[in-house]
Structure 1
């Protein structure tokens, strides 16, 4: 008999399959009509949202007043690279989705392993082509500007790093760590598709254009995606992990809170004293306090409170492995304000960003800190740590595929 939890997981799985089925054709054909388009994605969003959204102001097809060219013209010199990026990224998306099929894992373990190798190789390919594009393109020419360029660098590094960790883990026959790293890598591969879904949902009541919606969406993209990974891997924690993680102690949480407190103060002072919310970039609007309240403050408070609640409930149930995980993630959230403040300073001092641009970095680095907490938990509580002795899933003495 299906339990409420199993029904929720089945529904979430069905939604993921539908999302991939929707986005994969758009991604795969993105550059098939050349570097300037239009492409299948444009036609779909013209139908689903509006012609203005697909081809108008802030769409990439409109003419930039600074260069008198469409933004898509910046892909001319990197067209082959970006064509490969879109094809390899779509392959990673589909191959990665197959890894969640328990039926495939049990019935066709060889196929599962092959698709897993394809997924990890494609993750590295996505990161390499993204890096090639960014190295050849000035930051101001990247779609959505300098902030998005920084986000893409972080995303490329994170995807490649997680893929390598997943590969090394399975070579070490550490199934527990492999599953967690591979799950997070897949989550990051879903980031472009997640932004498209955000376009469609937000555009129901606000249509500032793709460029602005990218900036709005990246503030909590990493947080949303890594949270999905947390929720998925939690069903594998019991009996497979050590529960005495040094990152989950009360002392560790106090240290994390102490590290994060200066960041809260710094961000509060910056928000309170900022008077110029104007942005000179031709495609950015002036949302005023929206980057602070909607993109940073409210999501951060709600998500951190939720992590604390999950940790407390796990402790009350006596599930030490789950409590260690949620408390480690909570420690990452508590540190995040300082990470965000440092990101703000980096954007202003190193890249010369204005106040509005820099605020978009704050939200994204909050999510990035949660990703680091996720990775830290996966390493400290598995065979990556010398004292960790997780029990691998076995059948007949053989390690089962991830």
Structure 2
């Protein structure tokens, strides 16, 4: 039989090409703002990002109360060195990460692509999360910009970035390149949370008369769900390589997920009476509608899936969303007991931690439950073409 590469010459869908273009533009526009933010040793001086925000939104948004240039500026003095490393490593990793999603670059310059990947992983596994953790430890949850709920979100993001980077490197060493690509895509989505926050400031700041600090928290609420969905849908467009049949979701897993959901709902319901609510309306509109859109999309894709593997893939995410109440209860109690926040703020942590954790663990289950007949470095002989997974 004729040897062929599975999906090696397939052109990306127009939607994927558009997504790539938007990511390129977003990263390249963000990098100068990030890379220069901590270059000056005097953190009280106006930086490029401040100047841009003052121009496109307002001077009060950029320099006034709740801008980060008020009381929070003192937190950067003691952590300037680590934050300089964080901003430079993040800018470099985001730029190098763009090359990792170019099939043409990978095939034309495999050695350069590989070394760029090593540098990207070094930033994602070490410099970025460790410098972020150093900032969080030295600053404390109540002095972190946007408060304890956002501090908890930063902790989750730092740990998830380091973990997915390490797992992606491990998969590449094992020559499991499809798994490597899935993990590195999710890792890049986690890193992309930094530019997404800035673009969220600019968008919401145009019509919402709120401080940067609060808008930052609101964008953080839906950012994890939005970015994880983008990564998941992008990954599925790359799944033309033949897979082995997956085992259907076990009954014990379904029962466990539903039981955890009941536990979480009961726990959270018990907190309602004693909650001192803080800005509940923005929390509602930034969480429930986007969550319902994500759930509906996963459910529809599971229903219209063309084969069993695709159906199991999307059902895993649907089932995972049922665990949100459990992870939300864990996040709520962590924010209240460990970070010593008020109950109103803890609800923000419950939403971000519950939504993000449920999607993240569903993603890992899908990644490690999927195996492929071949990897990128072997020619396929006689294997049937993939079914065009939905």
TM-score, structure 1 as length reference: 0.86
Gaps of 5+ in 2: 1-9, 381-390
From the superposition, tell whether residues 210 and 86 of structure 1 become closer, same or farther in structure 2 (CA, over 3 Å).
Answer: same
- Please name the residue that 1:128 is paired with: 130
From the superposition, tell whether residues 394 and 368 of structure 1 become closer, same or farther in structure 2 (CA, over 3 Å).
Answer: same
- Please name the residue that 1:90 is paired with: 91
Q: Is the Cα–Cα contact under 8 Å of residues 31 and 37 in structure 1 kept in the other structure?
A: no
Residues of 2 paired with 1:47 and 1:146: CA distance?
A: 29
Cα deviation for residue 5 of structure 1 reads 7.5
Q: Is the Cα–Cα contact under 8 Å of residues 141 and 339 in structure 2 kept in the other structure?
A: no
- Cα displacement string for residues 51-87 of structure 1 (whole angstroms, at most 9, x for unaligned residues): 111111210112xxxxxxx311211111111111100
Residues of 2 paired with 1:141 and 1:330: CA distance?
A: 36
Cα deviation for residue 349 of structure 1 reads 2.9
Tell me the secondary structure at the aligned position of residue 141 of structure 1. coil
- Please name the residue that 1:400 is paired with: none
Task: Identify the range of structure 1 (199-208 vs 103-112) with the bigger mean alpha-carbon deviation.
Answer: 199-208
Residues of 1 paired with 2:370 and 2:147: CA distance?
A: 39
- Please name the residue that 2:375 is paired with: 392
Alignment length (residue pairs): 368
- Cα displacement string for residues 24-74 of structure 1 (whole angstroms, at most 9, x for unaligned residues): 111111112332231110111111111111111210112xxxxxxx31121
1:152 aligns with 2:154: yes
Cα deviation for residue 125 of structure 1 reads 1.0
Residues of 2 paired with 1:240 and 1:189: CA distance?
A: 29
Task: Identify the range of structure 1 (249-258 vs 121-130) with the bigger mean alpha-carbon deviation.
Answer: 249-258
1:11 aligns with 2:13: no
Matches within 5 A, 1:51-70: 51-62=59-70, 70=71
- Please name the residue that 2:167 is paired with: 165
- Please name the residue that 2:281 is paired with: 289
Q: Is the Cα–Cα contact under 8 Å of residues 96 and 186 in structure 1 kept in the other structure?
A: yes
Matches within 5 A, 1:173-322: 173-246=175-248, 248-249=249-250, 252-268=253-269, 270-271=271-272, 273=273, 276-278=276-278, 287-291=279-283, 293-314=284-305, 317=306, 319-322=307-310
- Cα displacement string for residues 205-243 of structure 1 (whole angstroms, at most 9, x for unaligned residues): 213112111211121211111111101110233444334
Residues of 1 paired with 2:36 and 2:69: CA distance?
A: 17
- Cα displacement string for residues 236-283 of structure 1 (whole angstroms, at most 9, x for unaligned residues): 33444334245x356644542332133234435544x366324xxxxx
From the superposition, tell whether residues 81 and 349 of structure 1 become closer, same or farther in structure 2 (CA, over 3 Å).
Answer: closer
Q: Is the Cα–Cα contact under 8 Å of residues 296 and 362 in structure 1 kept in the other structure?
A: no
From the superposition, tell whether residues 302 and 262 of structure 1 become closer, same or farther in structure 2 (CA, over 3 Å).
Answer: farther
TM-score, structure 2 as length reference: 0.88
Q: Is the Cα–Cα contact under 8 Å of residues 129 and 162 in structure 2 kept in the other structure?
A: yes
Residues of 1 paired with 2:328 and 2:202: CA distance?
A: 27
Cα deviation for residue 327 of structure 1 reads 1.4
Gaps of 5+ in 1: 63-69, 279-286, 383-388, 398-402
Residues of 2 paired with 1:36 and 1:45: CA distance?
A: 16
Relative contact order (alpha carbons < 8 A, sep ≥ 6): 1 or 2 greater?
2
- Please name the residue that 1:28 is paired with: 35
- Please name the residue that 2:350 is paired with: 362
Residues of 2 paired with 1:274 and 1:41: CA distance?
A: 40
Tell me the secondary structure at the aligned position of residue 166 of structure 2. helix
- Please name the residue that 2:316 is paired with: 328
Tell me the secondary structure at the aligned position of residue 339 of structure 2. coil
Kindly report the root-mean-square deviation, in angstroms, between the aligned alpha carbons of the 2 structures. 2.2
Tell me the secondary structure at the aligned position of residue 26 of structure 2. helix
From the superposition, tell whether residues 372 and 163 of structure 1 become closer, same or farther in structure 2 (CA, over 3 Å).
Answer: same
